[in-house]
Amino acid sequence: MDDRPGVGRPTLETVARRARVSRQTVSNVLNSPHLVHPETRSRVERAIEVLRYRPHQAARSLRTHRSRLIGVRMEAFGDGINGSILDRFIHALTEVAEGHGYRVLVYTAADDASEIAAYEDLLGTHEIDAFILTSTHRADPRTAWLASRNTPFVTFGRPWDGTEHHSWVDVDGAAGTREATRRLCALGHQRIAFLGWPEGSGVGDDRRAGWEDALRGCGWDPAALVVAGPDGVDEGREGAHRLLDGAVPPTAFVCASDSLALGAIGALSDLGLVPGPDLPVIGFDDTAVARAIGLTSLAQPLGQAAQLCVNLMAALLGTDPDGTSTRPAHHLLRPELVVRATGLGGPPTGHPTATITSARTPTS
């Protein structure tokens, strides 16, 4: 007699009484609708509606060991320029995951070891269903750990060690720099430099490879046109200076990041030069900074990447009714070249932003 509406939260039992069926039937309506007679089903559905019933996830988890939660690490942003793209990825991921009935739980970790400790904790206490890993790198211990525990996961970033075997989504950095470099070649550039990172980082090597490949393809020699250093504006500036002071000063710059590209622009400015169609500078990641200063850059399709990550994850979790292959799968996406004031001489951008163009037209 105390199941008056509004008293306490509705449970399966409440709904069942109202629809004059048993608990289990209500549960079936939610989880295996095909088992329930259509007429019964609609009666139950109406009761659910009226009572604004929502299944209690904790009770579900307790029984099924599924939480409908996926874990993603929030990374510390270095200079704030490049870090932001992971935030954009997480945003997209959250949105896509919600469409699949999953919620995103974020956590922080200082390094791989503490990230693994976080896995252990999250799996133990919250029974996270799956993890989406970002920033994969060589000798990454995380994937092996997760695999050894049979925890489903998808990486945004390919496995750089080659031996691994799991689902992943990545952006084809080489394809991006290759396209940019080819287009520069087509415009007549020969001394196209590459500002990159020290050898050994998967992402950096990949982006450099595309440039080198294209350059050779055009018949030019990449030697003496590459400089490598840690990521950062100052590092980019310094690297660009080394190239510009060298024997074969470049006429174009392809960079592994927007930070480095920004540094290159600074170096050119130091020499009284301004990037543009005749002296292109191309960055990578299409960050807010690139948009702000009119830097041509290669944009990662983050929304699409998030979508695919969730799809692969759903496949691993067997959410998709038709038992689609549980075998690991992967996708390699092409970045998109966003042409702005600093290069590849597309049509005038209409709103050449701020400072870049300013130095060219000092008066009026």
Partner DNA sequence: ACACAAGGTTGGATCGTTCCAACCTGGTGA
Partner DNA sequence: TCACCAGGTTGGAACGATCCAACCTTGTGT
Which residues of this protein are in contact with a copy of itself, per CB under 8 A?
9, 52, 54-62, 67, 69, 74, 76-77, 79-81, 84, 87-88, 90-91, 94-95, 98, 103-108, 121-122, 124-127, 233-234, 237, 262-263, 265-266, 268-272, 274, 287-289, 291-293, 351, 353-359, 361-364
Segment holding 152, helix H or strand E: none
By beta-carbon proximity to a copy of itself, the closer residue of 218 and 317 is 317
The distance of Cα 12 from the centroid of its chain, to the nearest Å, equals 39
Write the single-letter amino acid at 60. R
Candidate ranges 17-25, 83-91, 278-286, 297-305; the one touching DNA (CB under 7 A)? 17-25
Closest to a copy of itself by CB, 107 vs 220, is: 107
Q: Measured over all CA atoms, what is the biggest interatomic distance in the chain, rounded to whole angstroms? A: 91
CB atoms within 10 A of CB 218: 15
Report which DSSP code applies to 251: S
The span of 28-36, 129-137, 161-169, 208-216 binding DNA (CB under 7 A) equals 28-36
Binding residue (CB under 7 A) for DNA from 64, 108, 114, 324:
64
Closer CB to DNA, 60 or 291, in the complex: 60
CB of 94 to DNA, least distance (A): 23
User: Length of the chain, please?
Assistant: 364
Counting contacts by CB under 7 A, is residue 59 touching DNA? yes
Site for DNA in 36-55 (CB under 7 A): 36-37, 39-40, 53-55
Q: Which residues pair with 154 in a beta bridge?
A: 132
Residue 333 CB, nearest approach to a copy of itself (Å)? 20
Q: Is 333 helix (H, G, I), strand (E, B) or coil?
A: strand
DSSP three-state, residue 252:
strand
Closer Cβ to DNA, 11 or 190, answer by number = 11
The structure tokens 């799991």 sit at 166
Query: With binding defined as CB under 7 A, does residue 324 bind DNA?
Result: no
Q: Which of 3, 22, 113, 126 binds DNA (CB under 7 A)?
A: 22
- Interface positions, 245-284, toward DNA (CB under 7 A): none
In this structure, what are the phi and psi dihedrals at residue 72, rounded to the nearest 5 degrees? -140, 140
Region of 59-67, 129-137, 140-148, 301-309 interacting with DNA (CB under 7 A): 59-67
| DSSP code for 35 | G
What does the alpha-carbon distance between residue 241 and residue 235 come to, in Å, rounded to a whole number?
A: 10
Please state, in angstroms and rounded to a whole number, the distance separating the CA atoms of residues 95 and 87.
12
Q: Is residue 23 at the binding interface for DNA, with CB under 7 A as the rule?
A: yes
Binding-site partner at residue 84 among DNA, a copy of itself, none, CB < 5 to 8 Å by type: a copy of itself
DSSP labels, 40-103: HHHHHHHHHHHHT----HHHHHHHHS--SEEEEEPPPPSSSSSTHHHHHHHHHHHHHHHHTT-E
Name the site residues for DNA (rule: CB under 7 A).
Answer: 8-9, 11-13, 20-25, 27-28, 30-31, 35-37, 39-40, 53-56, 59-60, 62-64
